[in-house]
Structure 1
Amino acid sequence: MDHKSRIMHAIQRLPVDRIPCAELVINDALVQEFCGKVTVGFEHRLYFIQTMGLDAMCLHPCGMNPGGGSPTLPDNLVFNDLEAWTRTGHFIFAVLDGPIGWGTKTLGYNQMLSKLMRSSPDMTDLVSAVDVLNAETIHRLAANGVNGIIIADDIAFTNGVIARPNILRQLLFPSFSRSVEQAKKENLFTFFHSDGNLMAVLDDIVAAGFDGLQCLESIAGMDIALIKKHYGHKLCLWGNLDPGELCLVRSRNELMEKVHGIINVAGNDSGLIFGTSSGLFEGMRLESLKCVYEFVQQGLN
Structure 2
Amino acid sequence: MMTGRKRVWAAFQGSHLDRPPKGEILITPEIVKEFRRPDIQTVLAYLNTDLVVLPIEQPEMNSSLWRTWAKTGYFIFGLITGPITYLNRKLGWLGFSRLMVKKPWEAREIMSKIIQNSVRSATAALEAGCDGIIAADDLAGDRGLLISPSYLEKKYFPLIAELLRGIGSRHVPCVFHSDGIIMELIVHLRKAGFWGIHGLQPSVGIGAGSFRGKGLENWVFWGNFEFEGQAGLKSDTEVKNEVLNLLKEWAGFPGYIFGSSGGLYKGLSPKAIKAAYDVITSWR
Correspondence for 2:41: 46
Residues 169 and 268 (structure 1), Cα distance of their counterparts in 2 relative to 1, 3 Å cut = same
Residue pair 2:228, 2:234 contacting (<8 A) in 1 also? no
Give the whole-Å Cα distance in 2 for the aligned partners of 1:118 and 1:163.
Answer: 15
Rounded Cα–Cα distance in structure 1 between residues aligned with 2:9 and 2:16: 10
Query: For residues 206 and 291 of structure 1, what CA distance do their matches in structure 2 show?
Result: 33
Q: Please, which of 269, 272, 281 is the counterpart of residue 285 of structure 1? A: 269
Secondary structure at the aligned position of 1:35 is classed as coil
Q: Secondary structure at the match of 2:259?
A: strand
Q: Which residue of 2 aligns with 1:70?
A: none
Shift in Å at residue 231 of structure 1? 4.9
Q: 8 Å contact 1:52–1:293 — kept in the other structure? A: yes
Give the corresponding residue for 2:114: 130
Moved over 6 A (4+): none
Which sits farther off after the overlay, 178-187 or 17-26? 178-187
Quote the offset at 1:240 in angstroms: 0.7
User: TM-score when scaled to structure 1?
Assistant: 0.86
In structure 2, C-alpha distance between the alignment counterparts of 1:114 and 1:259, rounded to whole Å: 43
Give the count of matched residue pairs.
281
Which one of 244, 259, 278 corresponds to residue 243 of structure 2? 259
Tell me what 1:66 maps to.
Answer: none
Structure 2: distance between partners of 1:77 and 1:179: 23
2:22, 2:258 within 8 Å by CA — same for their partners in 1? yes
* Deviation at residue 118 of structure 1 after TM alignment: 5.4
Indicate how the Cα distance of structure 1 residues 47 and 214 shifts in structure 2: closer, same or farther if over 3 A, else same: same
Quote how far apart the aligned CAs of 1:269 are.
Answer: 4.2
Q: Aligned AA for 1:156?
A: A
1:119 positional shift: 6.7
One-letter amino acid of the structure 1 residue matched with residue 44 of structure 2: I
Which residue of structure 2 lines up, in the alignment, with residue 166 of structure 1? 150
Instruction: Tell me the secondary structure at the aligned position of residue 76 of structure 2.
Output: strand
Distance 1:92 1:46, change over 3 A: same
Structure 2 segments unaligned to the other structure (5+ residues): none
Q: What corresponds to 1:26 in structure 2?
A: 27
**Which piece of structure 1 moves more, 232-241 or 106-115?**
106-115
Q: Which residue of 1 aligns with 2:233?
A: 248
Deviations 1:193-250 (A, max 9, x none): 0001011121111111100100011112323322244253342000010131596141
Match of 1:121 in 2: 105
**Cα separation, 2, equivalents of 1:114 and 1:175:** 20
Distance 1:231 1:150, change over 3 A: farther
* Alpha-carbon distance change, 231 to 56 in structure 1, aligned in 2, over 3 angstroms: farther
Task: State the match for 1:11 in structure 2.
Answer: 12
Distance, in Å, in 2 between the alignment partners of 1:177 and 1:261 is 35
Map Cα deviations across residues 31-71 of structure 1 (whole Å, 9 max, x no partner).
112125xxx5xxx21111111011000001455xxxxxxxx
Q: What pairs up with 1:45-64 in 2 under 5 angstroms?
A: 45-63=40-58
Match for residue 90 of structure 1 among 71, 74, 82: 74
Letter of the aligned partner of 1:56 in structure 2? Answer: L
Aligned to 2:258, the other structure's residue is in SS state: strand
In structure 2, the CA distance between the partners of 1:169 and 1:185, relative to structure 1 (3 Å rule), is closer
Shift in Å, 1:299: 0.8
CA distance in 1, matches of 2:69, 2:232: 28
Give the Cα–Cα distance (whole angstroms) in 2 for the partners of residues 266 and 182 of structure 1. Answer: 32
The answer on 1:175 being equivalent to 2:153 is no
Rounded to whole Å, the distance in 2 between the matches of 1:92 and 1:81 is 12
After superposition, residues 59-74 of structure 1 pair within 5 angstroms as 59-63=54-58
1:29 shift after superposition: 1.1
Partner of 1:210: 194
Q: Is the 8 A contact 2:195 2:220 kept in 1?
A: yes
Relative distance call for 1:58 and 1:251 in structure 2 (3 A) is closer
Counterpart CA distance in 2 for 1:269 and 1:292 is 19
Please say if residues 217 and 253 of structure 2, whose CA atoms lie closer than 8 Å, have aligned partners that are also in contact: no
| Runs (5+) with no aligned partner, structure 1 | 64-75
1:266 Cα deviation (Å)?
1.5
Moved more, 273-282 or 157-166: 157-166
Question: Is the 1:30–1:280 Cα contact (8 Å) retained in structure 2?
Answer: yes
* Cα distance in 1, alignment partners of residues 6 and 195 from structure 2: 16
